[in-house]
Amino acid sequence: MNRVVVIGAGPAGLAAAASAATAGADVVLVDEGERVGGQFWRHHPDLTDPRLQHQLGRFGRLRESLSTVRMVSSASVWRVEVDPLRVHVLVGPADATGRAAETLTADSVVVATGAHDRVLPVPGWTLPGVTSAGAIQALAKRDALAPGESTVVAGAGPFLLPVAQSVALQGGRVAEVVEAVGFGAILRGWGTKAWQLTAAAGKAGELSGYVASLARHRTPYRFGSAVTRIHGTDAVEAVTVQRIDTQWRPIAGTERTVECDSVGLGHGFTPRLETAIQFGCAISPDRFVTVDAEQRTTVPGVFAAGEITGIGGADAALAEGEIAGLAAAGAASDDPRLKGAAAVRRRMHAFAARLEVHGIRAGWTAWLDDDTIICRCESVRRNVIDEYVATSSRGMRLATRAGLGACQGRTCGRSVDDITGAAGSTVGAGFEHRPVLSSVRIGELAGLSNGAGTLDTEPSGGN
Ligand X SMILES: Cc1cc2nc3c(=O)[nH]c(=O)nc-3n(C[C@H](O)[C@H](O)[C@H](O)COP(=O)(O)OP(=O)(O)OC[C@H]3O[C@@H](n4cnc5c(N)ncnc54)[C@H](O)[C@@H]3O)c2cc1C
Query: What residues line the site for ligand X (CB under 6 A)?
Result: 7-13, 30-33, 38-40, 76-77, 112-117, 134, 137-138, 162, 269, 272, 275, 306-307, 313-314, 317, 437-438
* Nearest distance, CB of residue 461 and another protein, angstroms: 9
How many CB atoms within 10 Å of residue 257? 12
Could you give the C-alpha distances from 239 to 2, 186, 246, 262, in angstroms and in order? 55, 24, 21, 9
Look at residues 183, 177, 264 and name the one whose alpha carbon lies nearest to residue 213: 177
Choose the one of ligand X, another protein, none that binds residue 187, judging by a C-beta under 5 to 8 angstroms depending on kind: none
Residues 328-357 that bind another protein (CB under 8 A): none
* Nearest distance, CB of residue 21 and ligand X, angstroms: 17
Residues 235-274 that bind another protein (CB under 8 A): 235, 272
Choose the one of ligand X, another protein, none that binds residue 144, judging by a C-beta under 5 to 8 angstroms depending on kind: another protein
Binding segment toward another protein, per CB under 8 A, in 51-59, 90-98, 171-179, 425-433: 90-98
* Nearest distance, CB of residue 336 and ligand X, angstroms: 25
**3-state class (DSSP) for residue 113:** coil
For residue 84, cis peptide bond before it (omega within 30 degrees of 0): yes
* Nearest distance, CB of residue 414 and ligand X, angstroms: 14
* Nearest distance, CB of residue 70 and ligand X, angstroms: 15
d(CA 6, CA 200) in angstroms, rounded, equals 29
Q: Is 132 in the site for another protein (CB under 8 A)?
A: yes
Q: Assess contact for 3 and 110: CB atoms under 8 A.
A: no
- The amino acid sitting at 93 is P
Q: Is 97 in the site for another protein (CB under 8 A)?
A: yes
Among 93, 253, 285, 451, binds another protein (CB under 8 A): 93
Q: Assess contact for 369 and 254: CB atoms under 8 A.
A: no
Q: Is 117 in the site for another protein (CB under 8 A)?
A: yes
Among 2, 22, 26, 44, binds another protein (CB under 8 A): 44
Greatest C-alpha distance within the chain: 67
Q: Assess contact for 13 and 112: CB atoms under 8 A.
A: yes
Q: Is 131 in the site for another protein (CB under 8 A)?
A: yes
Q: Dihedrals φ, ψ of 6, to 5°? A: -110, 125
- The amino acid sitting at 250 is P
d(CA 87, CA 339) in angstroms, rounded, equals 30
For residue 4, what is the enclosing H or E element? strand 3-7
Q: Is 456 in the site for another protein (CB under 8 A)?
A: no
HSE-CB at 401 with a 13 A cutoff on CA atoms is 9
Could you give the C-alpha distances from 95 to 42, 125, 438, in angstroms and in order? 20, 26, 10
Choose the one of ligand X, another protein, none that binds residue 162, judging by a C-beta under 5 to 8 angstroms depending on kind: ligand X
Binding segment toward another protein, per CB under 8 A, in 133-141, 156-164, 341-349, 359-367: 133-141
Give residues in contact with another protein (CB under 8 A): 32, 34, 39, 44-47, 93-97, 116-117, 126-132, 134-139, 142-145, 147, 234-235, 272, 373, 376-379, 405-407, 410-411, 439, 441, 463
